[in-house]
Structure formats: structure tokens, C-alpha cells
Amino acid sequence: MAKTRSTKHDGDTRDKLERKVYEQALRSLQVKLCELQEWVKQSGERVIVVFEGRDGAGKGGTIRAITERVSPRVYRVVALPAPSDREKSQIYMQRYIEHFPAAGEITIFDRSWYNRAGVEYVMGFCTKEEYRRFLELCPQIEKYIADAGIRLIKFWLEVSNKEQERRFVARIRDPLRQWKLSPTDLPSRERWYDYSRARDQMLEITDTDTAPWYIVRSDDKKRARLNCIAQLLSLIPYKKIPHKRISLRKRRTKGAYDDQATLEGRRFAPEKY
């Protein structure tokens, strides 16, 4: 049994995974993500994966763990900025729908149309009527998506109060992480229970048989990433596509010349490292 380091947040008594154990498990899952990629390309499947959760829940890191070993042409990440004035005048779902997958694609939304049920509602960026109307229509729209043959998978990353506070403090202190602090991050700390109620209402109405939510506890980022990827893989009935054995061809010698000598006198970046 590998040694582990203990970390406890809000009653979580599990031990933290050692990096070696995590990396071995992640590699195994990433191999399967590559197999899923080939199956999606060959079958023409269309998949949407939605990631939601409080600020600091670990959505970005989980998405990176999913996408770092696969093709961005198949696994497309969509992280939309705040809507422009033109987009605000459109039907609410319009700017999201244009990013939906074509055949052979997996679209990953780093936050999605559920902004309306969370940050927009809590921070007052939409009216109560717009919020109510969204919750009323969302299950119908998601049923339409599923009926169109698109697989819709929704993850909610659940971070505890203490762990979110710890991550925010780390971002404030580390200049390499300060860019992660958005204008809504710090106010979200003050409105913790407002976000909790918004989460509860969202789950109550939009956790349907057609498009269920899967909640992933994310105080332990490594476990959260592994659990999320494993669940994603379990929800898609993919098969490993057989490949012909690949062999590296030998370099042809016809037309050979000293192709390094021709670079002499060109500008090279200084080798400082």
C-alpha cells in the first residue's frame, strides 16, 4: 500500500493521494480517453460535457486532466466570456448552441448556460423573471438536445467552505495564480449561502432522468479528477478501435545534403538554459 499524506477539510478524513499513485491512475484513464476519442471520431457521436461548481471548485484543473493527452479537434473546450451587448439581445441559449458538437466531437463547457442559475442570479446580472424562465425551459431544452442524439453529461464539482477559502487565499498570495481571480470570485465568498440555495434550486429542477447531474466532491483535487474522468468514461458505451501496427519509415537518401550547414548565420534564440 502506497503511503499517503493526510489532509482534512470540513470533516473529510480521507488521506491525500501520493503523486505517483495519482499519475499512474491518471495515465491509465487518459489512455481510455484516447480510445474514446477514436471511437467518437469513427462513430460520429456528439457529446457535450458540462462543468459547473462554485469558484475555486477545480473545474479548470479537471478539464486540463481530461484534455492534455487528446486532440483539441475532438475534445473542444468552450469557456465563454461575459456576453457582449449583441449577445445580450439574443435568445439566452443562442451563444451556447453555436458551440455544440458536430459529428465526431466532444464539446466541454467550462461553465455553461447554467451561469443563469448561478452567478447571474446570485449577483443580480439577470432579472428574477429571466431566472424563473430559464429554470422552466432548461429541462425542455436539454430533452431536445438528448432527443437530437447528443449525449449530454453534467458535472457539479462540490468544494467545501474551508477549502474554497484556502484556495482563494492561495490565489491572492501567488502572483502565478492571481489571474484566476475574477471580479465575481471574492463576492462569491460573502454570498456562500446564496450560492448554496441557487445550487439546490438548480439541482431540484434540472436533475432529470434525461440529463442528470453527477456531483463530484472536489476538496481533494487529484481524487476529484480521477473520479470525474472515470464517471465520464462509464457513461459512454465506447469500444476500443483496432489499429494497424505502426512502424517508422526510414529516411530516404535521395537528394541528401547538409541541411544543418544551411542554417549557419541564421538567428537562433540564445541557449540560456
Long-range contacts of 144-152 (CB under 8 A, 24+ apart): 145/48, 145/100, 145/211, 146/210, 146/211, 149/46, 150/46, 150/47, 150/48, 150/100, 150/101, 151/45, 151/46, 151/47, 151/48, 151/235, 151/236, 152/48, 152/50, 152/210, 152/211
115-145 confidence digits (pLDDT tens): 999 999 999 999 999 999 999 999 999 999 9
Distance (Å, whole) CA 55 – CA 72? 25
Distance (Å, whole) CA 257 – CA 12? 64
pLDDT of residue 201: 98
User: Torsions phi, psi of 156, nearest 5?
Assistant: -110, 115
pLDDT of residue 180: 73
Sort residue 103 into left (φ over 0), alpha (ψ -120 to 50) or beta.
beta
Residue 212 pLDDT more than 50? yes
Strands 46-53 and 15-16: unpaired
Average pLDDT over residues 72-87: 96
Residue 9 pLDDT more than 70? no
Q: Which residues, other chains included, contact 154 with Cβ-Cβ below 8 Å and sequence gap of 6+?
A: 49, 50, 52, 211, 212, 213, 214
Residue 11 pLDDT more than 70? no
151-161 confidence digits (pLDDT tens): 999 999 999 99
97-111 confidence digits (pLDDT tens): 999 999 999 999 999
